[in-house]
Structure 1
Amino acid sequence: IWTAKSTTYQSVHLLGILVLEMAFHLYFKFQVIAARESAKSIERQSKQQLKELRVLTLRQVRLSIIPILFINADKVYFPIFRFKIRSPGSKNKLQTQAIKIK
Structure 2
Amino acid sequence: MHSQNALRVEPLDAARGVAVTYRTRGTCSRQIRFRVQDGHIHDLSFESGCSGNLQGLSKLCEGQSVDEVAQKLSGIRCRGNTSCPDQLSTALRLYQEQMQDEQ
For Structure 1 versus Structure 2, the TM-score category normalised by the shorter chain is under 0.3
Task: Kindly indicate which of the two structures has a greater share of residues assigned to strand.
Answer: 2
Q: TM-score, normalised by structure 1?
A: 0.23
Name the structure with the higher helix share: 1
Name the structure, 1 or 2, with higher relative contact order (CA <8 Å, separation 6+). 2
The structure having more radius of gyration, on CA atoms, is: 1
Using structure 2 for the length normalisation, give the TM-score: 0.23
